[in-house]
Amino acid sequence: MKRFRRHGHESQRDRLKQELYQFSKTVEHGFPHQPSALGYSPSLQLLAIGTRSGAIKLYGTPGVEFMGLHDENAAVTQVHFMPHQADMVTLLDDNSLHMWTLRRHKGLSELLEIGRFMLMGPPGAPPSVTRVTAVLPHSSGELLLLGTEGGHVFVVEVPGFRELEERNISLDQVSNSVPVDYIGRRNLEHVEALQENPTNPSQVVIGYGRGLMVIWDLENQCAIQHIPATQQLESMWWTEDGSYILSSHSDGSYCRWRVGGQEETEEEEEKEKSDIPYGHFPCKAITKIVQLPTEEGPPFLLFSGGMPRASYGDRHCITVIHSKTHVALDFTSRIIDFFVIRDGLEQTGDPSVLLVLVEEELVVIDLQTEGWPVIQTPYLVPLHSSAITCSQHVSAIPLKLWERIIAVGELQKTHYSKKPWPITGGQNLGPDPPQRDLLLTGHEDGTVRFWDASGVCLYPLYKLSTAAVFHTDADPNDNLNQSAEGEWPPFRKVGCFDPYSDDPRLGIQKIHLCKYSGYLTVAGTAGQILVLELNDEAAEQTVEAKVVDLLQGQEGFRWKGHTQLDVREEPVLFPPGFQPFTLVQCQPPAVVTALNLHSEWKLVAFGTSHGFGLYDYQQKNNVLIKCTLNPSDQLALEGPLSRVKSIKKSLRQSFRRIRRSRVSLRKHHVTNSSKLQEANARLEAELAEMELAPVQRKIEARSSDDSFTGLVRTLYFADTFLSDSSHNTPSLWAGTNGGCVFAYMLRVPAVEHRADEPVTAQPAKEIQLMHRAPVVGVVVLDGHGAPLPEPLEVAHDLARSPDMQGSHHLVVISEEQFKVFTLPKVSSKMKLKLTAVDGSRVRRVGVAWFGSNCKEDYSESGLIFLTNQGDVHVVSLPHVKMQVQYPCIRREDVSGIASCVFTKHGQGFYLISPSEFERFSLSTRFVVEPRCLVEVPLHLDSSNPHRAEPGGATSAHRTTQHSEDAEVLQEIQKSLEGDQTSFLENNVKHAVA
Amino acid sequence: MVLAAGPKRTEPSRMSRQLPPQQKTPIRLTDTVVEVKSKFEAEYRRFGLKRNGSGGFQEFYRLLQTIHHIHGVDVLLGYADIHGDLLPINNDENFYKAVSSANPLLRIIITKREDEPVVYGTNSLQRRKKGLGLTGLRTTGSGTIHSKSKSGLMIGPPQNFRQISSIIDVDILPETHRRVRLHKHGTKKPLGFYIRDGVSVRVTPQGVEKVPGVFISRLVRGGLAESTGLLAVNDEILEVNGIDVAGKSLDQVTDMMVANSHNLIVTVKPANQRNNVVHRESKNFMGNSGSVGSAGSTGSVLSHESPSPASQSNPITASSIAEGDSEDEDDDGDIILENDCPTAYNPHLVTKRNSVKLNGESSCSGPHPSAVGRPLPQSMSLPSSIGASLGYSSNTMSGHNGSLASSSQDSMKDDGTELTL
């Protein structure tokens, strides 16, 4: 009988678990790591980025995001949208072609891979014959032209990837027609570029590596014109009126060639000109050239590269020339690709926006506003413009604070263009975020960035810099790089990626924001703790440093680590935003390892490897200093960072050297060299692993003599029962690396005396866990077993006031186990062992609230934690029972595990690369994921009157005939999907034909 | 040399008559008398003892009580043998042995039973003199040495010795495996071993299969693992505290062992299979499994294996778990210091005092002398031997700090902190 009841209870709990917990990785925020290809569909208004790891990401209007991953772990080298379709072709490093499509499913669009293809050459042919170097999706949307390393052009029918062998353009066909005088008919080399005549779809130009360009008639299978350039070809551009072809070359020159016949006049002959824009001395290649007309006035000419090799060979530049304006946009990292968005529904008007993908960021430039300002990107923001050192998530920000942060953030964005975001494809069907969430990231350069983490787009709101408080040896050379008058080339720096920190001591290690009071405290690498207050006005003030000696007379210590930062003694003008008003400087200036702020009591608690302290930021004095150091712990004394720092410093210097001397490689060699680099990196990683991982591990119980036992891991404020069960008092709890918990009873004067009576702290309890594992969290549970609310939460009516009637409990979370103690008399009540059972250790822990997705009113609190094995678990409170476990991060991904941060509502973030956060959710109720729909717009051929020309029309007709079956199938499919637009489009095509 | 049992009855009176306490006359004239020098605390007594005429242990015990005037005090007797070892006298047999081995002087050391346990064994006398009495531990086969004197031979776990290791669950494990329990409590001795990754070979129906395994790679000299003699280099680790380690990384196994270090139970497959405990059903077992030379296999790392430990359930028995929990549960190990506040927090009182400006400061610092800035005693942690000495010193510890300081090596400043366990 009893057993049955128990079983019933178990299954009930299991059902409840399903209602409460559900794991999914929902969205990736930030900038893709190692992008390698860029694509854009003017008709869909979608942007596609391929990466070296084989991922493909599509972005439209903010909130519209798709992500796909190729099964092959090869770099994406090219991305092309099929004209006027929702299809996309990708070329990978392994020479495979893939067809992707956006398909509608349950009212939402999904990105699906629908086909893959590998070019097959004739038997016995060398692999270079079929190695694809250039891809041209034909404007008919039915053909794909593939230029190869062997110099052939293969024609493939899509979406089925059927080779049309009879239409292939072989190298022999072309070279037979080459005039004899062209450099003795030597090898034409690979196909470097393919372009379609914008006015006549039956004509394409084939550019060969040696420089020869051939205009080929697809209809009649013959060469129409030969353009005998002599320099190594880099790229081609067919002007919109079809009358000129621009070619760019490896010597930094570009040429303009007249298209059509021999009967050109003297004047036209003159137009066939060649130019090395940054000439005289040898220049680097111009890798891509684009020319776009304007309604009235001169055209825009844009090209990347072409810089003088010796003096500016390391710059990553795109030159934009329009009329008298000539600017060389100087980017922060290697240029992957760029394109221009044009005005008008059919994207045929004036160029309006230049969009550049560089290795570390996406830069969008408004070409229609004076000065060509940059447009703030709503997504793809480089999180790592300086390396992320820590992060904090704050849920449910009150509207007032939210608006103030946005307001001060707007003041920082005045240099951005007012133009709305130009990429507007798709519809965001996701619900409005239920609350306003902030993600705060601390960076190596001493900045704290505030991100709107409520929805799918991680949008930058505000940036706080703490460097102004200190004297820093900022690199004076950086300022010299600013463009001087009359400088040639006329450089203009764009982009915000700047990984080189002036001083690593500025790095932010801990952040704590109180969302109710607007107080923020940040702590850094050199033992500095700043308390800041949000101020809507700029203010000039002196920040006084209060030095706290954490050693407390412990003798025989010599700190060999870094020195503390020099504080500016003169008043500093702080812009509107969070302004520091107090600085606590720990001595020795070791990295701050724990931080907490209690805005109601106006106290800040901080800890390092030497001890912890409590600071009263209203009266600006120390309340408590406690040294936790073990006198025999020499490592903690000497400053473990000293060595690491020097390595880091030298690394930084060598990176700078490399950056200066780096020579941008030719396009084709990049893939090879990157492959080589990858292989080398792998080998190096393996070697490092062999060196780092000793073959054996010592089995020994922890002892008090271990190193860094005094390191403070966690600090916690609680209003609870420390001395007797009838009076609750404020208290401070500190947990150390050595498995020790210290509790202090605080006396905080009543509000009316807060300014003049001292705050006192008195030691109350000390717990030494026998297993001595590091204490990573301390939580006090109220009489109902719920975690105590945050400071001011109750005052703002946002939380139920804690139950002070029932007895409180203390939960101590060590790396190895969860343990519940009674209060006020501390005695062990229950525990959950983790490491002893499965060998994993707690790395990150947070309190989270889970709501049932079935019963609106049911919710419970739990502890959500991440282990060193990369698994996320939920443990129930107050009974510390394991609820669920999901694999989340690879256990080798140490930085990913270290970067993980949890929200109060069962979500989390971790870095999947230096520049990207992966968002995951354990909650059934709070899931933030993209929900979007992309529809293929109605396409009328009116935009291109030439298409109706007899030649073009027959060509279209013929291809239609060829692919009749495929098209019928497609039609059926599309009509089944209810996609009226494409149906119409097809009808129109047929009518035209 | 050896006394006959017969004359026992008459001995006591003769002995006491014959041996005046302070007699200094040379008795070594005759071979029949043994010179005895007995020591109790700081006092020495010298007397003669008839070599073959003396009675049994009980008489000798009473004689010493009389000589030292310690009637009613429960004491332990020990003597120094020719090698300088301190050996116990607690029955007739070892008494006779002691008397017979006197060469020429018999040195007797008397200790109170309440004192710290006397350790007998090799070189123990020297070590005792050097103040290292606690460290020398030896497992001797004879349980009689340390059995209680009054109740004669005692059967059961020895009382004055601390168990440091044991082989458990022999009856349920295949004889190729060994489950070893290491008791870390009390000793300052390190566990003292290292583990490494390796390759293990299992025999499956499909044939021989190589699987990754974890092996003992090194034993630290003088460490607990080495001193037990139950673990050896190249032993494969199969389980840690009853949990199969198959599929777990070296780091995971390391963490599991460290987490269980206070009561570590490792199931190993010894590299040397010659010393296996062969239990009753061993014949059956071997017959059934038909394992490849399991008993006589050589000490190679890649030793043969019949059933994989994962497939076989070798649960740690209820008894061993219960034992572990009662002895070593780390709840008892957590040390909690609570500051019983001299004055319970009373806001009215404090504010009242503070309103008097002169007294404001002193009232704050007065009742809480240790409130601000004063460091707590540095060594809160009791020595790790506390787990062991808990049994008989807990009452003293919870009493007051003075005795705590004496029982533990770390000193504890009187700070108003109270230790509760």
Interface contact flag, B254 A627, Cβ < 8 Å? no
Task: Tell me how many residue pairs between chain A and chain B have CB atoms under 8 A apart.
Answer: 170
- A470-474, A596-600, B301-305, B327-331: which has the minimum mean pLDDT? B301-305
Distance from CA of B211 to the nearest CA of A (A): 17
Q: What is the 3-state secondary structure (H, E, C) of B316-350?
A: CCHHHHHHHHHHHCHHHHCEEEEECCCCCCCHHHH
A809 vs A935: which has the higher pLDDT: A809
Which of A627, A655, A670 is where one domain is finished? A627
Do A847 and A824 have their domain in common? no
A986 pLDDT more than 50: no
Based on C-alpha coordinates, what's the Rg of chain B? 29
Q: What is the largest CA-CA distance in chain B?
A: 92
Do A175 and A227 have their domain in common? yes
- Residue A153 forms part of a structural domain: yes
Q: A240 vs A262, A290, A946, CA distance in Å?
A: 21, 10, 12
pLDDT, tens only, A30-87? 999 999 999 999 888 999 999 999 999 999 999 899 999 998 889 999 999 998 888 9
Do A781 and A864 have their domain in common? no
DSSP string computed for A294-338:
-SSSPPEEEEEE--BHHHHTT-EEEEEEETTEEEEEEESS-EEEE
Do A580 and A484 have their domain in common? yes
The one-letter amino acid code at B360 reads: G
Kindly report the CATH number assigned to the domain that includes residue A115.
Answer: 2.130.10.10
- Residue A392 forms part of a structural domain: no
Query: What dihedral angle (degrees, nearest 10) is formed by the CA atoms of A67, A71, A75, A76?
Result: -50
Q: What is the 3-state secondary structure (H, E, C) of A402-456?
A: HHHHHHHHHHCCCCCCCCCCCCCCCEECCCCCCCCCEEEEEECCCEEEEEECCCC
- A266-280, A737-751, B116-130: which has the minimum mean pLDDT? B116-130
Rounded distance, CA B194 to CA B250, Å? 11
Residue burial A282-307, b: 16+ Cβ < 10 Å; e: rest: ebbbbbbbbbbbbeeeebbbbbbbbb
At B298, is the pLDDT very low, low, confident or very high (cuts 50, 70, 90)?
Answer: very low
Q: Which range, A918-922, B216-220, B337-341, is most confident?
A: A918-922
At B81, is the pLDDT very low, low, confident or very high (cuts 50, 70, 90)?
Answer: confident
Interface contact flag, A828 B334, Cβ < 8 Å? yes
DSSP 8-state symbol, A856 = T
- Residue A968 forms part of a structural domain: no
Do A365 and A435 have their domain in common? no
Note down the domain range covering A826.
Answer: 717-836
A185 vs B381: which has the higher pLDDT: A185
- In this prediction, residue B160 carries a pLDDT of 64
- A609-623, A720-734, B40-54, B111-125: which has the minimum mean pLDDT? B111-125
- Residue A390 forms part of a structural domain: no
Distance from CA of B38 to the nearest CA of A (A): 42
CB-nearest partner of B261 from A625, A701, A869: A701
> Taking a contact as any Cβ pair under 8 Å apart, which residues of chain B between 74 and 113 contact chain A?
none
- Rounded to the nearest angstrom, the gap between the alpha carbon of residue B315 and the centroid of all alpha carbons in its chain is 27
Query: What is the count of structural domains for chain A?
Result: 4
**Residue of B197, B224, B266, B337 to mutate, testing the A interface (most A Cβ within 10 Å of its Cβ):** B337
How much is the mean pLDDT over chain A?
Answer: 83
- Residue A398 forms part of a structural domain: no
A647 pLDDT more than 60: no
Tokens 């702590």 found at: A523
> Residue B180 in contact with residue B268, Cβ under 8 Å?
yes
* % of chain A residues with pLDDT over 90: 46
At A184, is the pLDDT very low, low, confident or very high (cuts 50, 70, 90)?
Answer: low
A360 vs B93: which has the higher pLDDT: A360
- A401-410, A486-495, A603-612, B337-346: which has the minimum mean pLDDT? B337-346
- Give the other-Cβ count within 10 Å of A551's Cβ: 17
- A113-127, A276-290, A658-672, B36-50: which has the minimum mean pLDDT? A658-672
Do A831 and A847 have their domain in common? no
- The set of residues, in sequence order, having a beta carbon less than 8 Å from that of B107 and lying 6+ positions away, is B37, B38, B39, B79, B80
- In this prediction, residue A949 carries a pLDDT of 37
Interface contact flag, A766 B250, Cβ < 8 Å? no
Closest C-alpha among A600, A466, A483 to residue A522? A466
- The set of residues, in sequence order, having a beta carbon less than 8 Å from that of B416 and lying 6+ positions away, is B339, B340, B342, B370
DSSP string computed for A678-690:
HHHHHHHHHHHHH
Do A82 and A123 have their domain in common? yes
Interface contact flag, A700 B191, Cβ < 8 Å? yes
Residue burial A958-977, b: 16+ Cβ < 10 Å; e: rest: bbbebbeeebeebeeebeee
Helical residues (DSSP H) of B123-209, grouped into ranges: 124-130
Interface contact flag, A723 B341, Cβ < 8 Å? yes
Quick one: average pLDDT of A653-666?
A: 48
- Rounded to the nearest angstrom, the gap between the alpha carbon of residue B403 and the centroid of all alpha carbons in its chain is 22
A845 pLDDT more than 70: yes
CB-nearest partner of B259 from A766, A831, A836: A836
Q: Which range, A492-506, B314-328, B375-389, is most confident?
A: A492-506
- Token pair recorded at residue B248: 């777990």
> Residue A483 in contact with residue A547, Cβ under 8 Å?
no
B357 pLDDT more than 50: no
Do A926 and A886 have their domain in common? yes
Do A607 and A748 have their domain in common? no
pTM score: 0.74
- In this prediction, residue A583 carries a pLDDT of 93
Q: B316 vs A215, A717, B363, CA distance in Å?
A: 82, 42, 59
Quick one: average pLDDT of A932-937?
A: 82
> Residue A232 in contact with residue A254, Cβ under 8 Å?
no
Residue burial B215-225, b: 16+ Cβ < 10 Å; e: rest: bbbbbbeebbb
Do A832 and A847 have their domain in common? no
CA angle A231/A232/A235 to nearest 5° reads 110
At B204, is the pLDDT very low, low, confident or very high (cuts 50, 70, 90)?
Answer: confident
Q: Which range, A319-323, A343-347, A604-608, is most confident?
A: A604-608
pLDDT, tens only, B138-195? 333 333 344 344 445 666 666 666 677 888 888 888 888 889 988 876 667 788 899 9
- Residue A981 forms part of a structural domain: no
- Rounded to the nearest angstrom, the gap between the alpha carbon of residue A131 and the centroid of all alpha carbons in its chain is 32
Rounded distance, CA A643 to CA A561, Å? 8
pLDDT, tens only, A296-321? 888 999 999 999 998 888 889 999 99
Quick one: average pLDDT of B289-309?
A: 37
- Residue A641 forms part of a structural domain: no
> Taking a contact as any Cβ pair under 8 Å apart, which residues of chain B between 142 and 161 contact chain A?
none
> Taking a contact as any Cβ pair under 8 Å apart, which residues of chain B between 201 and 220 contact chain A?
217-218
Which of A786, A810, A836 is where one domain is finished? A836
- Give the other-Cβ count within 10 Å of A265's Cβ: 9
- Token pair recorded at residue A392: 């904090």
- In this prediction, residue A175 carries a pLDDT of 79
- Residue A612 forms part of a structural domain: yes
Do A732 and A804 have their domain in common? yes
SS3 call for B147: coil
- In this prediction, residue A500 carries a pLDDT of 78
ipTM associated with this complex: 0.78
At A486, is the pLDDT very low, low, confident or very high (cuts 50, 70, 90)?
Answer: low
Cβ contacts of A759 on chain B, cutoff 8 Å: none
User: Counting every residue, how long is chain A?
Assistant: 993
Cβ contacts of B253 on chain A, cutoff 8 Å: 697, 839
Quick one: average pLDDT of A366-388?
A: 90
Cβ contacts of A695 on chain B, cutoff 8 Å: 196-197, 217
Q: Which range, A425-434, B25-34, B201-210, is most confident?
A: A425-434
Do A726 and A771 have their domain in common? yes
Distance from CA of B244 to the nearest CA of A (A): 9
- In this prediction, residue A781 carries a pLDDT of 93
- In this prediction, residue A673 carries a pLDDT of 55
Interface contact flag, A760 B371, Cβ < 8 Å? yes
At B278, is the pLDDT very low, low, confident or very high (cuts 50, 70, 90)?
Answer: low
DSSP 8-state symbol, A787 = B
Which of A583, A605, A627 is where one domain is finished? A627
At A626, is the pLDDT very low, low, confident or very high (cuts 50, 70, 90)?
Answer: very high
